[in-house]
């Protein structure tokens, strides 16, 4: 393991850690190493990023969606068991926005049917459930270092594995199939990290995102997703390793992790307090989730589209995800076995939820300004 992987393994008490170009690549490695293939089924919440679904489809398996429970946006565990069939190969427990899933119930059902659980920790780093760190419950967990995630390496993915034979399978896969990123894309990512550090602050985020999407389409920057990833066909160079630039950035980020987590908790409490002062009902989550470490602070409003438009004009950093059960909205969901109406709570959340910044660059004044802005709208 390289330094980044070793440090990750220490924090998450993993048997073995593997680093990749993106988290979706880590998930692909995990699923393939579990032997997921044509005819198999993988269960996941119907409120996710389509990039999470792609690896399932690439392997010829079928995603089976479970609706969410409306408070934490995590899989509604009361609906899980009915989705299990003889074809179910893996259950993906996605800790949404930072709320850790109801792991006792998920593991009880999974163990009863002898199905491995993999944790999606892309939106949850440092959160605990009954005192135990998210990412330490399943046979494997995967993490993202993409720009919007709890910590950033520009792009990046980690598979933290706690099962010897799974680790051996992933190691074999990497040896045989993993491709190295090109010098050009590594250099571009490095340049983007420099620009990000210098210029991206809450007031400039909306503008930067628009520019970033435009430049991604033109091929002038390394985007989070290429256009071919909005269809379930795997690109030739998909199974890609993590570059040295990302690893070095990752080591720096892990050094600052405790501070990052403390900041997120403090800013979330400030949102709680200021929103309550404005008469908004408080967020609710199970007491087993102690002090969640949120990636963003989700709120429900009645006019999501108008709020997003006005936020962009006002320079307020308002997040839109998830815009649909398989974010982003352009996704032809039928290609991913999703039919409208399958997950009503997820569809409702997609219409109502916007998310507020908590990252290390969001200061107390960012929080105050964001609350002033969002409370001009009506809570849903
Ligand atoms: C819940 C979730 N899991 C996984 C991913 C994939 O992460 P990455 O962009 O690093 O592949 C994303 C978003 O991109 C996500 O929102």
pLDDT digits (tens, 9 = 90+) for 130-155: 999 999 999 999 999 998 899 999 99
* Domain 3-177 classification at class level: alpha beta
Do 180 and 241 meet the contact criterion of CB atoms below 8 Å apart? yes
Distance CA 108, CA 35 (A): 22
Query: Which ligand 1 atom is the nearest neighbour of the CA of 123?
Result: 1
Name the CA radius of gyration of the chain, rounded.
19
Distance CA 269, CA 264 (A): 9
- Supply the residue whose CA is at minimum distance from atom 15 of ligand 1: 49
| Dist. CA 123 → ligand 1 center (Å) | 8
Query: Which ligand 1 atom is the nearest neighbour of the CA of 94?
Result: 1
CATH topology identical between 3-177 and 258-374: no
Q: Which pLDDT does position 223 carry in this prediction?
A: 73
Q: Which residues contact 247 (CB under 8 A, 6 or more apart)?
A: 2, 3, 4, 19, 153
Q: Which pLDDT does position 135 carry in this prediction?
A: 98
- Substitution site in 26, 51, 143 for ligand 1 pocket (most atoms within 8 Å of beta carbon): 51
| Dist. CA 323 → ligand 1 center (Å) | 14
Residue 48 DSSP SS3? strand
Orientation of helix 164-177 relative to helix 23-33, angle to 10°: 110
Which residue ranges in the chain fall short of pLDDT 50?
A: none
What topology is assigned to 258-374 in CATH?
A: 3.90.1150
CA distances from 111 to 39, 76, 105, 116, 230 (A): 22, 17, 10, 8, 34
Instruction: Please confirm whether the linkage preceding 322 is cis (ω < 30° from 0).
Output: yes
Q: Which pLDDT does position 214 carry in this prediction?
A: 72
- Substitution site in 19, 30, 49, 65 for ligand 1 pocket (most atoms within 8 Å of beta carbon): 49
CA 115 to chain centre: 22
Q: Which pLDDT does position 199 carry in this prediction?
A: 67
Distance CA 196, CA 245 (A): 14
Distance CA 23, CA 121 (A): 10
69 lines ligand 1 (CB under 6 A): no
Q: Which pLDDT does position 139 carry in this prediction?
A: 98
| Dist. CA 120 → ligand 1 center (Å) | 8
Q: Which pLDDT does position 201 carry in this prediction?
A: 66
Distance CA 271, CA 48 (A): 24
Question: Nearest 5°: CA angle at 167, between 164 and 170?
Answer: 155
CA 102 to chain centre: 17
Q: Which pLDDT does position 231 carry in this prediction?
A: 86
Please return the burial class of 28, using the count of CB atoms within 10 Å of its CB with bins 0-12, 13-18 and 19+.
buried
Query: What are the domain boundaries of the chain?
Result: 3-177, 258-374
- Supply the residue whose CA is at minimum distance from atom 7 of ligand 1: 23
Do 56 and 62 meet the contact criterion of CB atoms below 8 Å apart? yes
354 lines ligand 1 (CB under 6 A): no
Phi–psi pair at 57, nearest 5 degrees: -70, -40
Query: Which ligand 1 atom is the nearest neighbour of the CA of 156?
Result: 10
């Amino acid at each position: 393991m390289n330094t980044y992987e070793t440090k990750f393994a220490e924090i998450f008490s993993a048997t073995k850690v593997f680093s990749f170009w993106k988290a979706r690549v880590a998930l692909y490695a995990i699923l393939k190493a579990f032997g997921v293939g044509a005819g198999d089924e993988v269960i996941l919440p119907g409120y996710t990023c389509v990039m999470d679904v792609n690896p399932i489809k690439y392997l010829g398996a079928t995603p089976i969606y479970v609706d969410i429970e409306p408070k934490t946006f995590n899989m509604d565990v009361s609906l899980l068991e009915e989705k299990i069939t003889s074809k179910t190969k893996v259950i993906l427990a996605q800790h949404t926005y930072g709320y850790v899933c109801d792991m006792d119930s998920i593991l009880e059902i999974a163990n009863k049917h002898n199905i491995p659980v993999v944790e999606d920790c892309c939106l949850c780093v440092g959160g605990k459930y009954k005192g135990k760190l998210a990412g330490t419950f399943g046979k494997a967990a995967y993490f993202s270092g993409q720009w919007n995630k709890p910590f950033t390496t520009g792009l990046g993915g980690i598979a933290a594995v706690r099962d010897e034979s799974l680790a051996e399978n992933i190691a074999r896969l990497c040896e045989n199939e993993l491709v190295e990123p090109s010098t050009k894309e590594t250099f571009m990512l490095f340049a983007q990290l420099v620009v990000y550090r210098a210029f991206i602050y809450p007031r400039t985020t909306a503008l930067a995102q628009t520019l970033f999407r435009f430049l991604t389409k033109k091929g002038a920057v390394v985007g989070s997703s290429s256009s071919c990833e909005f269809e379930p066909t795997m690109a030739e160079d998909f199974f890609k390793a993590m570059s040295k630039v990302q690893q070095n950035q990752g080591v720096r980020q892990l050094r600052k992790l405790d501070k990052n987590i403390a900041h997120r908790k403090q800013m979330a409490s400030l949102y709680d307090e200021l929103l309550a002062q404005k008469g908004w009902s408080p967020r609710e989550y199970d007491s087993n989730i102690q002090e969640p470490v949120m990636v963003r602070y989700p709120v429900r409003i009645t006019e999501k589209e108008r709020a997003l438009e006005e936020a962009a004009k006002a320079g307020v950093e308002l997040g839109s995800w998830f815009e649909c059960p398989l974010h982003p909205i352009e996704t032809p969901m039928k290609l991913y076995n999703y039919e409208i109406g399958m997950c009503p709570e997820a569809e409702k959340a997609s219409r109502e939820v916007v998310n507020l910044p908590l990252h290390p660059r969001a200061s107390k004044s960012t929080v105050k300004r964001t609350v002033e802005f969002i409370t001009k709208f009506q809570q849903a």
